[in-house]
């Protein structure tokens, strides 16, 4: 779950600071600036929030939310990678189908 620190400049730091002021989760990350490491993470985050943030981060990186594999297929509607890899996409469809059957 640990991501590699990202090298940033002072200008980047300013934009991260703005995101922090807006309390945006986009500020979360590991950064290296002039040889110093800055880690921004949520304090006192509930497990649910943490999982949600983790899934969101995977999604933004185009990784399968379930297993972290790079998603190759793009959603034609949005032009963005799907939430799941082929395998988990099928699995999600299957469970949706069986949920419908239960009703």
What's the CA gap between 54 and 57, in Å, rounded? 5
b/e sequence 26-49, b meaning 16+ C-beta within 10 Å: ebbbebebeeeeeeeeeeeeeeee
- When binding is defined by CB under 5 A, the residue of 20, 32, 51, 67 that contacts Zn ion is 67
The residue sitting closest to Zn ion, measured at its beta carbon, is: 64
Return the range that interacts with Zn ion (CB under 5 A); candidates 32-40, 44-52, 55-63, 80-88: 80-88
Binding mask 1-40 toward Zn ion (x if CB under 5 A, else -) reads ----------------------------------------
Q: List residues near Zn ion by CB under 5 A.
A: 64, 66-67, 85, 88
């Amino acid at each position: 779950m640990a991501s590699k620190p990202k090298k940033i400049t002072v200008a980047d730091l300013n934009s991260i600071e703005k995101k922090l002021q807006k309390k945006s989760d986009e500020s979360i990350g590991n950064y290296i600036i002039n040889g110093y490491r800055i880690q921004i993470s949520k304090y006192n985050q509930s497990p649910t929030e943490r999982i949600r943030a983790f899934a969101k981060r995977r999604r933004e990186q185009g990784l399968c939310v379930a297993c972290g594999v790079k998603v190759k297929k793009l959603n034609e509607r949005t032009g963005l990678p799907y939430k799941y890899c082929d395998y988990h996409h099928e699995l999600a469809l299957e469970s949706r189908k069986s949920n419908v059957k239960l009703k």
